[in-house]
Structure 1
Amino acid sequence: MNLIGSYNYALVALSVLIAMFASYAALDLAARVTAAAGSTRAVWLLGGAGAMGTGIWSMHYLGMLAFVLPIPVAYHWPTVLVSLLAAILASVIALHVVSRQHMSVPRVVAGSVLMGAGIAGMHYIGMAAMRLPAASHFNSVLVVLSVVLAVLISFVALSIVFRFRNEKTGLGWGKLAGAVVMGSAIPVMHYTGMAAASFTPSSMPADLSDAVSISLVGTTGIAVVTFLVIGLALLTSWMERRFAERKLERSEAYLAEAQRLSHTGSFGWRPSTGEIIWSAETFRIFQYSRTTTPTVELILQRVHPDDAPLVRDTIERASQDGRDFEHEYRLVMPDGAVKHVDVVAHALSDKPARIEFVGAVMDVSDRKRAQEKLRRSEGYLAEAQRLAHTGIWAWSVTARRSVYWSEENYRLFAFDPEGGIPSDETFYQRVHPEDRDRVRSEVFLERPDEGSHFDVEFRLVLPDGTMKYVRSTGHPVRNISGAVLEYVGTSIDVTDRKRAEEERERLRQAQEDLAHVNRVTTMGELTASLAHEVNQPITAAVADANACVRWLTRDSPDVEEARAAASRIVQDAMRAADIVSRIRLLFTKTTPPRELVDLNEVIRGMVALLRGEATRYSVSIRTDLAAPPPFVIGDRVQLQQVMMNLIMNGTDAMKDVEGTRELAIKSQPADNEELLVSVSDTGIGLPPQADQIFKAFFTTKPHGTGMGLSISRSIVESHGGRLWAGSNAPRGASFYFTLPSKLQVPDKPTIPA
């Protein structure tokens, strides 16, 4: 005869409540296990399984304690412990299955079978722990049904947990509903299993070794401890979630700021539903309100008309084949501004039905503008190099070879860019054989690690036999420690400059020869006057010599008179020698160095030399020279030639006029530390073509060369001065020139002597 049992419905209700509480904990802990990684994931998996398994086990034992028999019942505690481990193992399986990123049907079925078997095992192991003076019998149909229910309930539980594991808002009403459903279903299996058992009295006493009886206090303790364990697990999960949420909020804030600073937005796109998620920066880039729901059509509305077909094709192709994509296109903003964006997306699934893209959209307008500016700058630089015949190169110390040549450098050395940068040996084959060793010794290749700057000029012999002159300059580039990394420099085609220098030298020589001819011609015109000038001191010397002889041949020689006559002879001879010396200087073709010259002395010397010519035409010369004597740094002979040309021109201008014939020469200080010299005459004045008088070969004289004033201006300008002319009232002309009183001496004169 079966024993009749009854249920304590308060404990039944408590067991159901614990089942719901444990179910809610399972939903919450599943989220923590899913979010964790590494060792933290293992801790949450084991800790969560312990709390969840304890809750399921507690619900089971409270359900067993709720079943009241008319005989005493004890429990074998080692067996009870095994049933607890079975519950924890089932919880480990459940949390492991639901914490995966994707849960396929085969996986959830396998997990349900294992979890259901664990729960059923926990139940029947727990019943095996009962120690009572009665025999237990089981209805096999109900046992099988309880196991099937355990598997089905596990399937539902896993599905619910996977669905609601990430719900975060408030208490999570969906999660709460899922916990109620799970908490209501789990006891169904338990009480079905309890219904499968029946008990008949037995005359054999119960084996009470390692068995304990559960009193009301024990029952209360089990419930309290269960609530504490599950509550502690939930509290820990809640605190961990809060910390994680705060960390996530900070991370999202940092990410949003980083996106704003880098002009990079993020997005998610699910082609199957058309759902698009944008970050705040993406909204800003497309200039849509945050309240706008982004769609493909909204994106295409912003795309530049010329780029729209390509963008549409990219979107359609990506939604069909589910492959990563990247493309650049333009956006047209409401105000008409154009933006350049670079979009890159990555597909998270290779199954067309579940394709989802995550990606980034970067506003590259500034980069595009910078690239365009750089492209223009490079174009300008290349054009400037072409116009200046200047190439740029870089030579690596580590690689021991050239690593960069500009386009102009290839053109300069006549190499084809398609062939790449030539080797050093190939390059040196272009250098003129006579310059090759010198170039090797002067440039960095002989001592690259020393980091010496170099500047070398050499000749090139191109394949067609053309010869070029090149100036190459190199500068070392060092790292932080001072070691030389590379040399960068320029190569300049100075062929035109060299040819110009040669041409200038030929012109300078021609001008020098012409100036010499001018002086000789002028001196030829002065032959009579110069002969007269030389003859005067010679005649005086002869007269004094005769007088000296007479004074000495007297009966009583007058030595003092003879000495005076001899002194006059010496003075006359020196005067004649001085005149001859000045004439010889004007005839010479040598170019004396520039020196400190007393300009007044130059004027006096030329006045003394040309006074006879002036007297010949009844021209008086008046000088008004500055005091103290004005000094300039210059070529004495060239300055004498200027004064000679101006004095001769003034004399020629007055020889056919009536009235006063006076040549006034004046020197005086001027502004800006300059000296001003003027030569004024009372002659016929300047010709109508006054602006032409300083041009070569222009003359108004029947037998003039037209070179005197042109050469004079060149000489004055080579000394840093200026020569010009003006008319006098009522007649005549004045010629003026200035010279710096502190002029630096150039390395070589550029104007003929």
Structure 2
Amino acid sequence: MNFHFLPPEMDKSLAHTGSYDPVLVVLSYIIAALGAYAALKIVAHIRHSENTKKARWGWIMAGALAMGNGIWSMHFIGMLAYSTPDSIDYDINLTVLSGVIAMLASAAVIHIVGNSTVSLKRIAGGGLVLGAGIAGMHYVGSSAMVMDDVIFYDPARFLFSIIAGLLLSSFGLFVFFIVGRHNSSSKSHALASDFFGAAILGLAVSTTHYIAMSATYFFHADFQHVPKSTEIHPSTLGAAVAVAALLVVGLSVIATFVDRHLRQAMASAQESRTAMFDIMRATPQGVVVLDENLNIVTHNDAFTNLLRPISRLLVKGTPLETLIRGWCEAGIVDTTPLDIESYVSAHLQRYTTASGIYEEQFRDGRWFSINTKKTFQGGVIGIWTDITKHKQAELESRSREDYVRKILDNIISGVVIVDEQGTILMFNCVAEATFGYENSEILGENVSILVPHPHRDRHDDYIAAHNSTETPRILGTGTRELEGLRKNGETFPIELGISKLDTEQGRQFIAVVSDISQRKKDKLHQEELERDLMHASKMEAIGLLAGGIAHEINTPTQYIGDNLTFLQDVVGNILAVLRPTHTLVEALKNAPDGCPVDAEELEKLATRLNDLDIDYLEEDIPQAIEQSLNGVKDVARIVLSMKEFSHPSTKEKTLADINASLKNTLTVSRNEWKLFADIELDLDENLPQIQCLPGEINQVFLNMIVNAAHAIQELNASEKGTIALSTRLREDIVEVKISDTGAGMSPKVQKHMFDPFFTTKKVGKGTGQGLAISWDIVVNKHGGTIQVQSHAGKGTTFTIQLPLTAPDIE
């Protein structure tokens, strides 16, 4: 190393002088301060964070890199700022060594002051190490200069540079740790102390450097320097210094980022600790915190109250084993001396593994739920919750469950409860009798065992689909009438009602099942009776219409017969004339020219032609034929209307033209109203066809029209009234109105008019079934409505509404 102290007799004026670039001088200081700032922030992170040993040394190395690079970069930027007449190269080995010295000194300082508690002694020790490191780095770095001159140091200034570095390093650490700690409550004061401390440490580095440079003298040597391969040019050194400077700046930025998040984390941690202790104090649950050796760290007052008889043991550092033995010996739990060891061992095992929640009963009857959890530090936290009321509620709940079970076993329907997977959880007595299974053999089975094919194989999919879509499509259908499967393989009809219940154990389904086999039989019997009644009603209608229809057909038939008799006579007379005429014509054709015609024969023929009265025949024969054709058309129309009206009853609904049905019904019932009422038709020609039972709808219209005619006749048999029929489309509803100007109905009659066998007509006029059957057909079989407006003496209006597409109503 080129290291010499200046002898007193040496003339300093012979030394070479140089100059400084002020920009690089300022830059050298800034780099030193930034390195110090980054290092101090990393120290703060180490001090206030819970790091593993490996992580701590990682942060120490990062801080050493920041501060060491700052010191090293400051030195060589300062060297580059100094200009001399001679060129200067640098020995690479000493240059690297100087950087290592700076980093090792920085690492030592960070290790010394990086503890959670910092004393003045530590600060002084850190300042001493840092100052020595700065001085050592500088003088080793200065020795790395390779030039034609010989370097001498002024001893006094040499010593002063070291002392200045030591003092300023200690003062910078003091400002950062001591002043900053006392002002930590003020964010602005703490931030100021951070920057001020870093500035002083940067000043320590630069002051040491520039005082040391003032102690340095360059004298011309008698030899010429020969470059070596281990030397580096200043430009190369400048690039290395630039990289190091950028590294310092980057670490400073990172340190600032880390510091901000560290402060946030510290604040959050402090809030969390405060909140935790507040919660521990406020919670009614007993809380005890143990360290990794299962010794008490802290506990709350509620825990003390739980173990009041052994409160003397509830102090920091008491082993958990001692505490457990204490509450056994104090009789808090019901254990015998022989059981204590196994009891203590079991409890220690639960806390050692922190295996979750277990329950403990005290001798006084109290129950506790104890939840053990591992902490981040490897300890255990135990939370004791008084669940005595919950246990009492469990007993009451079991009692209620038994009570509910008895109720379910005594209701008249089967009750089956299943979970989301379809597993049977409950099966009451009626369900046992219905399906043939014993409770013990059905519980735990899938409910699909009660479902016949083909729905059995898809039953789980139905439940899964319901759980995901909330669509109430259970057991493969949306209706309530299904088929069940008995244990013996017999299928039978059931009525199923399902409700959903969300419990603490998860979603459950409650199915109420009724065997409707007998109901189905009764329904078939009822349908047979209804068919018989409908048939009787049709027979009544046919009987009612038979005379009128016979009369309607008899009238055209009579004048058709009269016209045919007339034509028969006329045709005979015409034939009597035609034959002689034909003979005469043939004779004339065959007579020789000039042969005279028989005058007598001509006379006879003329007489017969006069007897025919051709003018009369020309007028009456076409009329007779036209009347006969019209009569045939009337008969055909009546027969066709009768055919359409008497549409055979079917169970399947078909499309029908309501306007045509009304016209046909008017035709077949004409004899009932023609003498008493005029018909007014107001039919919507664009009315669409509807899906219905045509024969039964015709019967409804017939009942309404006949009732209207009878009501008009009842009011005034001597004057004609009016029956008005109209149709309209109301969105997806076809509306039919049948109005009359008859006698009307009183409110009392209106209350009972749809009751079976209720009638106000005279004996022989009706059975009282017409309106009851009409109501059943419109409302029950077609999903429609019948509304009535009637006033005594003013008439009645029936409004029938039928959906375009009738629902499938059984």
TM-score by length of 1: 0.45
